[in-house]
Amino acid sequence: MTARTARPPKLRPRGRGGPAPKPRRGSALGGLRHVYTRARRAWDRPLTAYYLIFGGSLLLTVLGLVMVFSASQIQALQSGLPSTYFFRKQLVAAVLGTGLLLLASRLTVRMHRALAYPLLAVSVFLMTLVQIPGIGQTVNGNRNWLQLGGSFQLQPSEFGKLALVLWGADLLTRKQDKRLLNQWKHLLVPLVPAAFMLLGLIMLGGDMGTAIILTAILFGLLWLAGAPTRLFAGVLGVTGLLGLLLITTSANRMARLACIGATEPGPNDQCWQAVHGIYALASGGLFGSGLGASMEKWGQLPEPHTDFIFAVTGEELGLAGTLSVLALFAALGYAGIRVAGRTEDPFVRYAAGGVTTWITAQAMVNIGAVLGLLPIAGVPLPLFSYGGSALLPTMFGIGLLIAFARSEPGARAALAMRQPALRRKLAGVRWKTMRRRVKQRPSGER
């Protein structure tokens, strides 16, 4: 029987006990399964967290520089300054922060632990200096700044976040090595009193936004240490009562709380900033009005390059731009949780979890305030908003995550295997280039 006269194979009828036919390779279902399988394999690779942290933080910093340049020009010109004034300062801070990131990514765990106590002592000393009359500077009603000379200022409370992460991680690691974390007094003391000392120094200056982030870091460390539910709820209840007391005793904080979900500026324009932030987001549409074309930054929206830079991003880059920023923060958060969950070193777990809690909580508080879902707390968007005091410790924290991601199981071996391959590729490129140059010699040359 020839190939032309051969009978086609019999098809098994459906629904009579036989298995369902497999989808063809070219079908839509088969293509989706193939894409899902490849994405899952890529997601489970040892260097996934490393690339997510490095790439996500790089994209956020670069996009933040672009948006600071766009959002701050009008503010600078209205203050009688060059239009690139704030952008140049942010660029300098980004360069210095990159150096801190590279330094932190190359330090060993032992060196990071050695930095814990000196950094905490320096942070407490500087935060105490802020409260001395004549030394501390008041900005927007908050006394949390030190004048460094010229136009440069330092906010020590931003470095207090990093100090609490490193010191708390080192403290909990030493207690875990001695098997003391199963006792509630060792779990709370001295971590909670030290955190409340930092909170007290911050609240003396009136900066409740930074205090909220510091509280989130404290609860993140307690959660990672395995605090019992009753103990966790007790500390949360005490902190909530203190926060409620601080809010109800301040007319400014009560006014901010009343602006949640506001659609009108209200009496005395107390909700002006919150409402115009919503206006900026609403006028952006799907793809925005274009980079540099924001209308709200022309004096209508206060702090367009700091606390409300996300609103200007939504107006100029639209829903696509804001969702991209949210996706980058989500990638950073996932990568940090993955690093904390896969390590066997307790210090790495506590420090990675603390940095991840810090960055994600601060991003949620900032974006929630811009969206009108939370009161305006006055905290910058990490890696994105203008402010060198916030950018420098945040980039050091990103460097911590990169260092920990490099030590993830399988990551060191993967990096070690890629370095010789890269060298071979570069050597091959150089050899091919030399051969091409030899072929291009003029006739008669030897």
Q: What is the pLDDT of residue 227?
A: 87
Residues 183-203: tens digit of each pLDDT: 888 889 999 999 999 999 999
Mean pLDDT of the chain: 87
**Residue 113: CB atoms within 10 Å:** 18
Indicate the pLDDT class of residue 279, thresholds 50, 70 and 90.
very high
**How many angstroms separate the CA atoms of 426 and 86, rounded?**
40
Q: How far is CA 128 from the centre of its chain?
A: 27
| 305 vs 267, more confident | 305
Q: Give 342 or 23, the one with higher predicted confidence.
A: 342
Distances (CA, A) of 253 to 148, 323, 362: 29, 29, 18
Query: What's the token pair of residue 427?
Result: 């050597």
Tokens linked to 269: 């324009």
Look at residue 210 in the predicted model and tell me its pLDDT.
94
- DSSP calls for 146-196: EEEETTEEE-HHHHHHHHHHHHHHHHHHHHHHTT-TTSHHHHHTTHHHHHH
Q: What is the DSSP letter of 136?
A: E
Would you say residue 404 has pLDDT above 90? yes
pTM equals 0.86
